[in-house]
Amino acid sequence: MGIMRNCLLTLFCIALLMAGCNKSKEVSIPSPGPNSLFTETYPLPEASRKVMDGIYNVTAGNELFGDQVVLKWSRKKLTVMCSDGHYLVLDVGQLDSVIMIQGYWRYCYNDNTGIASAYIARDEGGKDIIEANPHPGQIIIRGGYGSKGNEINNPLQFVYLRPISPSVLNKKFSLLAHRSGGRTSDHLPVSENSIAMINFTEGLGSTGIEIDVQLTSDGVPVLYHDADLNIRLTQKGPVSGPINDFNYLQLFYLVRLIHGEHIPRLKDALYFVVDSTLLTDVYLDMKEKVPSIKEVIPIQKEILQRAKEKGRDLNIYIGLPSQDAINDFMSQPDYQKIPSLCELSVDDVVRTNSMVWAPRWTEGTQDALVAQIHGQGRLAWTWTLDDVDWIKEFINNGQFDGILTNYPFIAGYYHYIREN
Amino acid sequence: MKRIIIIGLFFLVAAWNAAAQPGDSIPKTRSHYTLAIGTGWSHYFANMDIVPARNVQKEFIGTSFRFMWEPEYRLSLGLETGFYRIFRVDSALTSEYTMDARMYMVPLLLVIRMRIVDNFYLSLAPGIAVQFSQIKGIGETISSTQYSFANFEACASYLYPLNKRFVIGGEARFLYIGKTNDYIMSLNAVFGVKL
């Protein structure tokens, strides 16, 4: 009996340990499938999309989405931003005079997700949207959402309340998404620090991105966060160890990010930003194990020149997170003309002539220092702010010009819902 | 739900085990130290996402060293180290590039061993490991070292005393390397000496 008990205990301990080693579960984005009516719709013109932007009352679905939501179009998706971390990413098309809407909802703090589908009838705003009437009489979005598979079993209804205030829209406020648009650990369908994430992030409401820059052994700046190749960020493969040990071709052929993407070169990522997105700000977070400012500057210059040629409003800032980085930066020729972002003191911002001061959020709203920075014609951003209450506090009572967050849809909600 | 069941089972077994121990029929031995060396076949459970298992060399020779303190009770404590080749991947990536990737490991484990019946032991061993990898192909050869801090070994041993000083036997062990999510098992012939 004693032997059996000890064996059982041993086996149990092994099982417990192995169970604790399971990889976290995947969250797959629900899809309505190929039989959806949506495949027969036509894309909505740009002018029509703007009509849909606004503040809506939630008259069905409050239990999930709260009492008010913000609807805001990005390059190709309609994002519904809620006050507590719920959000919807939606495709919109028109069929006759009806606006068809479908997509999914997510809650950012856990794995909850489900499908969503809705429509706007012709006489409930569909006609105004299609005709791009800037002052729609009413818009009522009717539909439903589900929480399991493809079933839609809960009613959803949003009623247009007002447009987003022009003073808010005209104000330069950056919604910067972390790690090129979102973290792998938040169970997004694409990997952090990938071109696929840059393509995805505008659907989350972001207007800018922060990306992590590291240098390969042959001097190529690439996007990657951790110091080493590991199974948290990459698929299991034959290569592991410090990322700076490997050359770019080795990373290209031997490593895949967690959702199968290649580790991108900084140059490729920035070309994608300027050519294929509407993002306006890029914050280069320079990882310092191997200094890379010297290699990054010509890339920054090349991309900014391309943006200028295309008439794109794009800012790319080299991040300066430490005195070592500042020293490295100030050793470069004409450093004062290079767009940079300093995370240290206001004096360091002046010394480096950084366009942006970016203190961490735990230092508070620092109104006096932010006012001083504004007085010098510079911008102030804070990082990395993910808590709903603190985001609300910083937006409503702070004077920052941008927030770096993993959840741009929360910051977007509290920014766009302001009345001035 | 799975976690709740596991936690519940843990408390159930712990409570059961907390009852007074019955009389022990196994003869007790005097406290002593032993040093054991083992060597034999090791097998890598190929689980790579980006390399098919058929392209991975999995069978190698591994070696282990154990230093144990064996008091006059069932439980004994000790340290284990060793040397294992985990895998080798030797394949053509493209018509232009080939790759030869190898990984080795030296664990350092705290061993908790229990004598189940005469000469038969079960042990559990958490610990750290140093992993060495070498990549040849596509440019220069890369050698890198990394540390894994969450490793675990389960081992079953049969140790037959040749006389009062020497033992021989065999061990089957299963080793998990947390950093890279690798698993290996090994079957070793063991020779030990009481110090």
Considering only CB atoms, A5 lies closest to which of B17, B50, B87, namely B17
**Containing structural domain, residue B75:** 29-194
Contacts A256 to B, Cβ<8 Å = 49-50
Considering only CB atoms, A253 lies closest to which of B16, B21, B138, namely B138
Is residue A19 assigned to a domain? no
Is residue A362 assigned to a domain? yes
Task: Specify the pLDDT at position B73.
Answer: 83
Of the candidates A317, A312, A311, A281, the residue with the CA atom closest to the CA atom of residue A297: A317
pLDDT of residue B36 exceeding 50, the answer is: yes
Q: Are residues A210 and A349 in the same domain?
A: yes
B1 touches chain A (CB under 8 A): no
For B48-61, the DSSP string reads -SSS-GGGEE-EEE
Contacts A21 to B, Cβ<8 Å = 150, 176, 178, 181
- Report how many Cβ contacts below 8 Å link chain A to chain B: 118
Distance in Å, alpha carbon of A153 to nearest chain B alpha carbon: 24
Contact B135 A238 (CB under 8 A): yes
Q: Are residues A326 and A347 in the same domain?
A: yes
Distance in Å, alpha carbon of A10 to nearest chain B alpha carbon: 8
Cβ-contact B154, A21 below 8 angstroms: no
- Which residue spans within chain B are E strands per DSSP? 32-44, 56-57, 59-70, 75-92, 98-117, 120-136, 142-161, 166-177, 182-194
The CATH number of the domain where B120 resides is what?
2.40.160.20
Q: Are residues A238 and A354 in the same domain?
A: yes
pLDDT of residue B129 exceeding 60, the answer is: yes
Q: Which two tokens stand for residue A315?
A: 């800012």
Q: How confident is the model at residue B18 (pLDDT cuts 50, 70, 90)?
A: low
Domain's final residue, options A163, A198, A219: A163
Higher pLDDT pick, B20 / A184 = A184
Q: Are residues A315 and A375 in the same domain?
A: yes
Q: Which of A9, A245, A254 to mutate to test the interface with B (most CBs of B within 10 A)?
A: A254
pLDDT of residue B187 exceeding 70, the answer is: yes
Distance CA A40, CA B168 (A): 75
Distance in Å, alpha carbon of A27 to nearest chain B alpha carbon: 17
Contact A250 B103 (CB under 8 A): no
Distance in Å, alpha carbon of B171 to nearest chain A alpha carbon: 17
Residues 6 or more apart from A28 whose CB is under 8 A from it? A189
Q: Which two tokens stand for residue B103?
A: 């990984």
Nearest CA in chain A to B88: A238
Contact B139 A249 (CB under 8 A): yes
Contacts B117 to A, Cβ<8 Å = 3
Of all helices (H) and strands (E), which one includes residue A9? helix A2-20
Contact A8 B48 (CB under 8 A): no
Distance CA A87, CA A227 (A): 32
Contact B135 A239 (CB under 8 A): yes
Bridge-based pairing state of the strands A402-405 and A379-382 = parallel
Q: Are residues A159 and A184 in the same domain?
A: no
Contact B13 A9 (CB under 8 A): yes
Is residue A341 assigned to a domain? yes
Nearest CA in chain A to B123: A10
- Classify residue A316 by burial, with Cβ atoms within 10 Å: 0-12, 13-18, 19+: buried
Q: How confident is the model at residue B98 (pLDDT cuts 50, 70, 90)?
A: confident
Distance in Å, alpha carbon of A213 to nearest chain B alpha carbon: 21
Contacts A25 to B, Cβ<8 Å = none
Domain's final residue, options A115, A142, A163: A163
Q: pTM of the prediction?
A: 0.86
Q: Is the dihedral of CA A349, A352, A355, A361 positive or negative?
A: negative
Distance CA A111, CA A148 (A): 12
Distance CA B171, CA B120 (A): 10
The CATH number of the domain where A73 resides is what?
2.40.128
Q: Are residues A275 and A358 in the same domain?
A: yes
Residues 6 or more apart from B124 whose CB is under 8 A from it? A10, A13, A14, B111, B112, B152, B153, B154, B155
Low-confidence residues of chain A, pLDDT below 50? Answer: 1
Task: Specify the pLDDT at position A137.
Answer: 84
For residues B64-89, average pLDDT: 94
ipTM summary value: 0.75
For residues B47-62, average pLDDT: 90
Contact A236 B47 (CB under 8 A): yes
Is residue A190 assigned to a domain? yes
Q: Which two tokens stand for residue B85?
A: 């080749």
Contact B139 A21 (CB under 8 A): no
Contacts B21 to A, Cβ<8 Å = 2
Q: Are residues A132 and A268 in the same domain?
A: no
- How many domains are contained in chain A? 2
Q: Are residues A138 and A192 in the same domain?
A: no
Residues 6 or more apart from A94 whose CB is under 8 A from it? A41, A42, A43, A44, A48, A100, A126, A129, A130
Task: Specify the pLDDT at position A25.
Answer: 58
Contact B180 A240 (CB under 8 A): yes
Cβ-contact B116, A251 below 8 angstroms: no
- How many domains are contained in chain B? 1
Of the candidates A169, A327, A186, A168, the residue with the CA atom closest to the CA atom of residue A258: A186
Task: Specify the pLDDT at position B130.
Answer: 96
Is residue B18 assigned to a domain? no
Is residue B7 assigned to a domain? no
Is residue B79 assigned to a domain? yes
Considering only CB atoms, B50 lies closest to which of A7, A13, A237, namely A237
Contacts A9 to B, Cβ<8 Å = 13, 17
The CATH number of the domain where A187 resides is what?
3.20.20.190
Is residue A291 assigned to a domain? yes
Contact A254 B99 (CB under 8 A): yes
* pLDDT over 70, % of chain B: 85
Q: Is the dihedral of CA A380, A184, A417, A124 positive or negative?
A: positive
pLDDT of residue B114 exceeding 60, the answer is: yes
B47 touches chain A (CB under 8 A): yes
Distance CA B105, CA B129 (A): 7
Of the candidates A341, A342, A297, the residue with the CA atom closest to the CA atom of residue A317: A341
Task: Specify the pLDDT at position B27.
Answer: 52
Is residue B9 assigned to a domain? no
Contacts A253 to B, Cβ<8 Å = 93-94, 97, 99, 138
Q: Are residues A180 and A239 in the same domain?
A: yes
Task: Specify the pLDDT at position A82.
Answer: 98
Contact A18 B176 (CB under 8 A): yes
B139 touches chain A (CB under 8 A): yes
Cβ-contact B117, A3 below 8 angstroms: yes
**Containing structural domain, residue A216:** 169-416
B117 touches chain A (CB under 8 A): yes
Q: Are residues A369 and A246 in the same domain?
A: yes
Task: Specify the pLDDT at position B174.
Answer: 97
Contact A16 B47 (CB under 8 A): no
Distance in Å, alpha carbon of A263 to nearest chain B alpha carbon: 14
Is residue A409 assigned to a domain? yes
B53 touches chain A (CB under 8 A): no
Task: Specify the pLDDT at position B157.
Answer: 96
Q: Are residues A212 and A113 in the same domain?
A: no
- Kindly provide the b/e burial profile for residues A320-339, where b requires at least 16 CB atoms within 10 angstroms of the residue's own CB: bbeeebbebbeeeeebeebb
Q: What are phi and psi of A258, to 5 degrees?
A: -60, -30
The DSSP secondary-structure symbol of A97 reads T
Q: Are residues A153 and A178 in the same domain?
A: no
Residue type, B90: D
Task: Say which residue the tokens 């959803």 belong to.
Answer: A156
Domain's final residue, options A129, A145, A163: A163
Is residue A23 assigned to a domain? no
Contact A231 B180 (CB under 8 A): yes
B95 touches chain A (CB under 8 A): no
Task: Specify the pLDDT at position B20.
Answer: 47
Contact A236 B50 (CB under 8 A): yes
The DSSP secondary-structure symbol of B28 reads P
